[in-house]
């Protein structure tokens, strides 16, 4: 059974955390679904990833193309078809307990400087741990990522 890794982003821009985690996941050979709530926001992430990192391109595509199932990273607003090893949820995108069980890694990233994002993340934590999902809460408030809380699921 997988675990939900909640990332409370406070020090870094969210897109930097996304890029860093995607780089690591691709280094593991994983395919990643990045799920948001708004098409415009996913288009923005598409542009950031195209222009992004100095140390290398992150191959990706936006959902709705003919090769979605082949993309190493797929940006989407709905659960993607095909086999993805990891799921990254941003901006309060929903994640079902069964999706966590089926993946190597699940990240739920939220902006710790946005009170509404905090409320959504807290609700997701309660819903997922209440459904028996193991979860970890990570914070970067000290300047580096530290696990603060773990729920056994």
Domains and CATH numbers, the chain: 3-151 (3.40.50.10110)
Tens of pLDDT, residue by residue, the chain (153 residues): 578 999 999 999 999 999 999 999 999 999 999 999 999 999 998 888 887 666 667 888 899 888 888 899 999 999 988 789 999 999 999 999 999 999 999 999 999 999 999 999 999 999 999 999 999 999 998 889 999 999 986
Please work out, in degrees rounded to the nearest 5, the angle formed at the alpha carbon of residue 149 by the alpha carbons of 10 and 105: 80
- Cα gap 111→140, rounded to integer Å: 11
- Cα gap 117→81, rounded to integer Å: 27
Please name every residue paired with 107 in a beta bridge, in sequence order, or none if there are none.
5, 88
Alpha helices by DSSP H, listed for the chain, are 14-27, 39-51, 97-101, 115-130
- Cα gap 31→42, rounded to integer Å: 17
């Amino acid at each position: 059974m997988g675990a939900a890794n909640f990332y409370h982003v406070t020090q870094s821009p969210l897109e930097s955390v996304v890029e860093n985690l995607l780089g690591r996941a691709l280094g593991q050979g994983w395919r990643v679904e990045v799920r948001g709530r708004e098409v415009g926001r996913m288009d923005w992430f598409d542009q950031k990833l195209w222009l992004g990192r100095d140390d290398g391109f992150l191959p990706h595509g936006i959902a709705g193309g003919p090769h979605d199932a082949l993309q190493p990273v797929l940006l989407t607003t709905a659960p993607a078809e095909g086999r993805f090893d990891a799921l990254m949820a941003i901006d309060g995108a929903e994640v079902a307990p069964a999706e966590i069980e089926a993946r190597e890694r699940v990240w739920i990233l939220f902006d710790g400087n946005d009170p509404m994002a905090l409320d959504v993340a807290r609700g997701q934590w309660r819903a997922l741990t209440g459904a028996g999902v193991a979860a970890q809460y990570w914070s970067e408030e000290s300047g580096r990522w530290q696990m603060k809380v773990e729920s056994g699921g």
